[in-house]
Amino acid sequence: MQIVPMLRQLIACNSISSVNAALDQGNRAVIELLANWLDELGFNVELVPLDDPRKANLIATLGSGPGGLVLSGHTDTVPCDEQLWQHNPFSITERQDKLYGLGVCDMKGFFPIAIEAARAFLDKPLRRPLILLATADEETSMAGAIALAKAGKPKARYAVIGEPTGMKPITMHKGILVEKLQIKGSSGHSSNPALGRNAMETMHKAIGVLLDYRYQLQQQYQNPLFDISLPTMNLGCIHGGDNPNRICGDCELGFEIRPLPGMEIKALQQELENKLLPFTDDGVSVSLQHMCGVPPFDAGKESELVNICEALTGHAGQAVNFATEAPYLSQLGMDVVVLGPGNIDQAHQPDEYLDTGAINPMVDVLVQLIGRCCL
């Protein structure tokens, strides 16, 4: 089958992942399509189910031996505002050298391109394996990649993640840490402060501590390769209290930190606990929930794959502000670069598209990459 008809079938499978359970779908249909195609081509196909029975990862391997190359993509998409689309998000519309559809660019389009590149090697004996990896839930919890890192597979020397990077190798990105701080006091009549414990006043102090910590982190860490060269902290949402004449009984803050490479998620979480949990001294109860912690990614100075990808694309490695599954594949001991067709600017928005002109050059890059890593 050709690239566009394959992509049409992938796009027709709704594989939205969302923290909103009403929108969240499985990715099984996408995984099964890929598994069937790859099985027919002679790949050894392994489905790795996740806890949620609607979801799975796929590891498809051609050839065997040490080393080798993983071509990796996520099979889920973000939700879409269908009423804002001019095209049907669940089918492909081809117009003026663009393919429109939900996930064409981020990143179902990568799979038929990778399969097309793999076809060039079906009759050649690979000395090192070529592995196509398809993951679940990248857009929400990274559950697919986390499960793989835990299971210790797949293993190869190199891994390319085909996220939309405009075919430029991405060698660094920031991490994401999402935290929820809950402060529980007790409410009472506002006329007598002794009748309760004001959670909002403790939250006020806690926010002061957080902003000081942000300043401290920004003094300590900078990386000029990033557009935003400092680690950031955003206080995103706050809810608390109900009426001016009642002591505020509960207050909750959601905030996010985007750490630079070199900053450890676990250490940041520990430091936040050290700074925030002692506020129980105010007579309130304090809890800090770690909602999400994607590590930052740095391919590292010794990465051979960075050199290979820079030579193949003619672009130097770059740092970006979005997070990917790269740190999890790094944890598996692979040399990882993020490099794919399409542009992140077209992702996560109505009328997402992929330029058809991006397809053949990406196939060529992957053919050369497979040749270097697997023959």
Return the active site residues: 76, 138
Give the nearest distance from C-beta 344 to Zn ion in angstroms.
8
**What would the two tokens of residue 165 be?**
């990077």
Q: Cβ closer to Zn ion: 163 or 352?
A: 163
Spell out the SS3 assignment of 42-95. Answer: CCEEEEEECCCCCCEEEEEEECCCCCCEEEEEECCECCCCHHHCCCCCCCCEEE
Tell me the window of 9-17, 102-110, 117-125, 235-243 that interacts with Zn ion (CB under 5 A): 102-110
Q: Is 160 in the site for Zn ion (CB under 5 A)?
A: no
Number of residues that bind Zn ion (CB under 5 A): 3
Q: Is 159 in the site for Zn ion (CB under 5 A)?
A: no
Give the nearest distance from C-beta 161 to Zn ion in angstroms.
9
How many whole angstroms separate alpha carbon 344 and alpha carbon 346? Answer: 5
Give the nearest distance from C-beta 40 to Zn ion in angstroms.
26
Contact predicate 293/259, CB 8 Å? no
Task: Establish how many alpha carbons lie within 13 A of residue 189's alpha carbon, considering only the half-sphere containing its beta carbon.
Answer: 2
Give the nearest distance from C-beta 163 to Zn ion in angstroms.
5
Q: Cβ closer to Zn ion: 50 or 326?
A: 326
Q: Cβ closer to Zn ion: 112 or 185?
A: 112
Across the beta sheet with 93-95, what order do the strands follow?
93-95, 98-100, 353-355
Q: Is 106 in the site for Zn ion (CB under 5 A)?
A: yes
Residues 245-304 within binding reach of Zn ion (CB under 5 A): none
Q: Hey, CA dihedral for 353, 101, 10, 154, is it positive or negative? A: positive
Give the nearest distance from C-beta 48 to Zn ion in angstroms.
19
How many whole angstroms separate alpha carbon 367 and alpha carbon 361? Answer: 10
Of 11, 38, 107, 142, the residue at the interface with Zn ion (CB under 5 A) is 107
Q: Cβ closer to Zn ion: 163 or 179?
A: 163
- What residue is closest to Zn ion based on CB? 106
Of 372, 329, 369, the closest CA to residue 154 belongs to 329
Q: Is 352 in the site for Zn ion (CB under 5 A)?
A: no
How many whole angstroms separate alpha carbon 245 and alpha carbon 342? Answer: 55
Report the interface residues with Zn ion, using CB under 5 A.
106-107, 163
